[in-house]
């Protein structure tokens, strides 16, 4: 136990906790809207596309985060422009994603050097998170949260009912693109700890579970943030204790283990309705 | 049919609540000028002509059924009125002005489909979108929260759905969801209500409830209603006129004038027979 405390006193582990906290909060909030807008596949594809950018940047001798940011934001704008036809959009995203993964593979095979930076982009690491990374995560998180707060009502409205929202004067398409850029930024800061392959866990897991437990949008978001924090803190702690297993495994594992009983067990109360609403009474009288 | 037409479901108990809109209202007080004017309006979408030189006027307080086969441009017409689609030719005037997005005088409920994510949304949240869903910011810290809830509950009560206020939207039936969408559309105190297929996916008893509700709102508020439907029969007792769209053309008039073999044959450009049987009107001879 005392050795655990001495482990936690290491600056890089404290940095992982601080950055992880920012990431968990932002990922849960953007993840809620991602689910609402039926963009979960985009949430899966964006980090993979970002991986290609990161690999390309490594090949060119640039910071992989720059390449990741360029590719995810570019793809986010592209997906936002694709419009609302779900089936066509997901097809286009799928083809774009596999192409990006192929590019990433090409960049990796062309790169002769030590590819550890690329692997850490793929799987994440709690090692080597600097104080600067923490500050960067904090700043970007504040920016994302402030933007979501500003866009909150029109974003919620257009997520549920884009047609009426457009008729009421909400700039629906612009909002769709702005939101996906915020998702791209979220992914960019989250990748350093959870990695491109498992960012999806933090984006979708907490919001999916919270959406089955709470009724009001604000409550769902709050619950998603709490779950995200729980997964991230516990995940980092377990990764520190285990020493070799990456944190992304533990976060994904916890997310799965909590979602499972919520999906199939409790949450059944949601399917009940009051015994006699006036309308159902009328209907049965007819 | 004309005797049916007189059995209008008029309910006046809400007349005292008739909203006094501070915004432009050229029709009030004076002779009822047209609230909607279309002159030679054509709409092309993706190289296909949807509407072709459509001309008609609609007066304040009229209850209009918009009829026609699939793809005749019924939904497109509503979107033109909402300013969501620009006509390629012609002139459109609503309340004497060009159509524009975000016009508070128009309430709109689009063709309904069940929303997957609506589980974590209560009826009152959905209706509340009509009040301030288009405003920036989260709206959590505004001072008039209690007043906001009162307005939402008033709208819910008006569509007989107050008991559903805290229910998740996804658990409600098609008819109940339709009530909520109408309540949402009513929140900006519109003078014109555009309803796209509000009767689809409803069983007969719920269909009658929704029609009675819309007719009551139309008469009590003096609100103009355009209701898109694929079947005129349940609407015949309550509507003033029908707007029939086919092949991009439009015919408007009282049901007994428009829904006739000669008018519809001219509109479709093909022989069409209107048959009255079992107290209902049937249009036969074309794919409708």
pLDDT tens digits for range B163-201: 999 998 888 888 888 889 999 999 989 999 999 999 987
Superfamily in which the B1-105+189-257 domain is placed by CATH: P-loop containing nucleotide triphosphate hydrolases (3.40.50.300)
Q: Are strands B224-228 and B63-67 parallel, antiparallel or unpaired?
A: parallel
Among the listed ranges B15-19, B88-92, B198-202, which one has the minimum average pLDDT value? Answer: B15-19
Contacts of B118 in chain A (CB under 8 A): 160
The interface predicted TM-score (ipTM) is 0.82
pLDDT at position B190 is 93
Contacts of A283 in chain B (CB under 8 A): 205-206
* CB spacing of B119 vs A38 below 8 angstroms: no
pLDDT at position B30 is 45
Q: Are strands B224-228 and B192-196 parallel, antiparallel or unpaired?
A: parallel
Distance (Å) from the C-alpha of residue B180 to the closest C-alpha of chain A?
A: 13
Domains annotated for chain A, with CATH where assigned, are 2-270 (1.10.3470.10)
pLDDT bin (cut points 50, 70, 90) of residue A151 is very high
pLDDT at position A114 is 67
What residues of chain B, 108 to 147, have a C-beta less than 8 Å from chain A?
108-110, 115-122, 125-126, 129-130, 132-140
Torsion angle defined by CA atoms of residues B190, B216, B204 and B114, in that order, rounded to the nearest 10 degrees: 20
Q: In terms of DSSP H, where are the helices of chain A?
A: 2-8, 11-36, 40-59, 64-81, 86-110, 116-123, 131-160, 162-167, 172-194, 199-213, 217-242, 247-264, 278-285
Contacts of A286 in chain B (CB under 8 A): 205
Average pLDDT, chain B: 83
More confident residue, A59 or A114: A59
Q: How many CB pairs under 8 A join A and B?
A: 121
DSSP A265: T
Q: Angle A143-A148-A152 (CA atoms, 0-180°, nearest 5)?
A: 155
pLDDT at position B224 is 96
pLDDT at position A152 is 96
Q: Where do the structural domains in chain B lie, given as residue ranges?
A: 1-105+189-257, 116-187
Give how far the C-alpha of residue A286 lies from the chain's centroid of Cα atoms, to the nearest Å.
49
* CB spacing of B101 vs A161 below 8 angstroms: no
Tokens of B19: 């909203």
Task: Output the DSSP codes for B162-210.
Answer: GGGTTSBGGGS-HHHHHHHHHHHHHTT--SEEEEESTTTT--HHHHHHH
- What is the percent of chain B with per-residue pLDDT over 90, rounded to a whole number? 47
Residues in contact with A119: Cβ distance below 8 Å, sequence separation at least 6, in sequence order: none
* CB spacing of B132 vs A153 below 8 angstroms: yes
Query: How far apart (Å, rounded) are the C-alpha atoms in residues A246 and B266?
Result: 74
Tokens of A90: 């997901």
Per-residue pLDDT reduced to its tens digit, B220-238: 999 999 999 988 999 999 9
């Amino acid at each position: 136990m005392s050795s655990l405390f001495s482990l936690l006193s290491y600056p890089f582990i404290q940095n992982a906790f601080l950055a992880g906290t920012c990431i968990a909060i932002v990922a849960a909030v953007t993840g809620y809207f991602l689910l609402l807008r039926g963009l979960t596949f985009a949430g899966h594809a964006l980090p993979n596309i970002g991986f290609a950018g990161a690999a390309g940047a490594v090949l060119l001798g640039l910071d992989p985060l720059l390449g990741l940011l360029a590719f995810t934001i570019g793809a986010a704008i592209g997906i936002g422009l694709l419009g609302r036809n779900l089936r066509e959009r997901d097809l286009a995203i799928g083809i774009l994603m596999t192409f990006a993964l192929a590019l990433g593979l090409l960049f990796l095979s062309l790169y002769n050097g030590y590819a550890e930076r690329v692997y850490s982009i793929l799987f994440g690491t709690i090692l080597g998170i600097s104080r600067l990374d923490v500050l960067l995560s904090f700043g970007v998180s504040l920016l994302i949260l402030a933007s979501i707060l500003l866009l909150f009502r029109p974003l919620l409205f257009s997520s549920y009912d884009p047609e009426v929202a457009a008729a009421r004067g909400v700039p629906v398409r612009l909002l769709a693109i702005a939101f996906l850029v915020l998702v791209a930024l979220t992914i960019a800061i989250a990748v350093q700890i959870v990695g491109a392959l498992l960012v999806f866990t933090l984006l979708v897991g907490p919001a999916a579970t919270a959406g089955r437990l709470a009724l009001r949008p604000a409550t769902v978001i709050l619950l998603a943030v709490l779950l995200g924090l729980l997964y991230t803190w516990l995940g980092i702690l377990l990764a520190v204790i285990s020493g070799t297993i990456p944190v992304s495994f533990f976060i994904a594992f916890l997310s799965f283990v909590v979602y499972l009983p919520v999906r199939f067990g409790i949450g059944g109360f949601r399917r009940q309705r009051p015994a006699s609403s006036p309308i159902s009474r009328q209907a049965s009288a007819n | 049919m004309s005797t049916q037409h007189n059995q209008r479901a008029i309910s006046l108990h809400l007349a005292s609540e008739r909203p006094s809109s501070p915004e432009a209202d050229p029709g009030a007080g004076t002779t009822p000028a047209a609230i909607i004017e279309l002159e030679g309006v054509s709409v092309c979408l993706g190289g296909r002509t949807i509407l072709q030189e459509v001309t008609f006027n609609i007066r304040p307080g009229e209850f209009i059924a918009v009829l026609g086969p699939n793809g005749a441009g019924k939904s497109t017409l509503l979107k033109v009125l909402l300013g969501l689609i620009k006509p390629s030719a012609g002139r459109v005037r609503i309340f004497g002005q060009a159509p524009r997005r975000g016009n508070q005088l128009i309430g709109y409920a689009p063709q309904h489909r069940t929303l997957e994510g609506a589980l974590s949304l209560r009826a009152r949240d959905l209706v509340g979108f009509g009040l301030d869903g288009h405003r920036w910011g989260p709206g959590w810290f505004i001072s008039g929260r209690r007043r906001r809830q009162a307005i939402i509950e008033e709208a819910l009560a008006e569509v007989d759905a107050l008991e559903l206020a805290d229910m998740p939207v996804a658990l409600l039936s098609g008819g109940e969801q339709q009530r909520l969408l109408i309540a949402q559309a009513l929140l900006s105190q519109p003078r014109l209500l555009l309803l796209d297929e509000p009767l689809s996916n409803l069983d007969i008893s719920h269909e009658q409830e929704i029609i009675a509700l819309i007719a009551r709102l139309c008469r009590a508020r003096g609100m103009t209603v355009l209701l898109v439907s694929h079947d005129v029969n349940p609407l015949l007792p309550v509507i003033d006129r029908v707007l029939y769209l086919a092949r991009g053309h439009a015919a408007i008039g009282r049901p007994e004038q428009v829904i006739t073999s000669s008018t519809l044959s001219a509109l479709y450009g093909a022989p069409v027979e209107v048959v009255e049987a079992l107290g209902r009107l049937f249009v036969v001879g074309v794919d409708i």
